[in-house]
Amino acid sequence: MNKEDENIEKGFVSIFLTSFTTIFIAELGDKTQLATLMLSAESGKPMIVFLGSSFALLCSSIAGVLIGKWISTKISKDKFSLFTGILMTLVSVWIGYTIFNINY
C-alpha cells in the first residue's frame, strides 16, 4: 500500500522527465516518421513541415494520453500494467527481430 501511495505521489517533474526520456528513446529508434518528415522537407520549406508535423505529434500524444486514461478507468491498474507490459515486451522482441534483418 505504501508503494502504491508513493507511485501516486510521484512528482510532476519526475513524471515529465520519465515521459520525455521514454518517448525520446522510442522516437530515436523510429526511423519511419523522420524519414517521412525528410521526404516532405525536400519541398524546401522545412519550417512549415516542422509546424505541421509538430501539431500532428501533439494531437497523437493527446490521443495516447486520453486513451490510456480512459482504459485505466475501465480496468484495474494491475490488469492495465500486465496488458501494456506484455505489449511492450512484444514490441521489444519485434524491434529486436528487425535488427537481425538489418544484418542479414
Least CB distance to other proteins at residue 83 (A): 9
Q: How many residues bind other proteins (CB under 8 A)?
A: 81
Any residues with CB less than 8 A from the CB of 61 and at least 6 apart, and which? 23
Binding flag, residue 58, other proteins (CB under 8 A): yes
**Footprint of other proteins on residues 63-102 (CB under 8 A)?**
63-69, 71-72, 77-82, 84-93, 95-96, 98-99, 102
Report d(CA 12, CA 10) in Å as an integer. 7
Nearest to 26 by CA among 66, 71, 60, 67: 60
Beta carbons within 10 angstroms of residue 104's beta carbon: 4
Q: Are residues 72 and 80 in contact, defined by beta-carbon separation less than 8 angstroms?
A: yes
Binding flag, residue 32, other proteins (CB under 8 A): yes
x/- binding map, residues 9-28, to other proteins, per CB under 8 A? -x-xx-xxxxxxxxxxxxxx
Least CB distance to other proteins at residue 79 (A): 7
Binding flag, residue 29, other proteins (CB under 8 A): yes
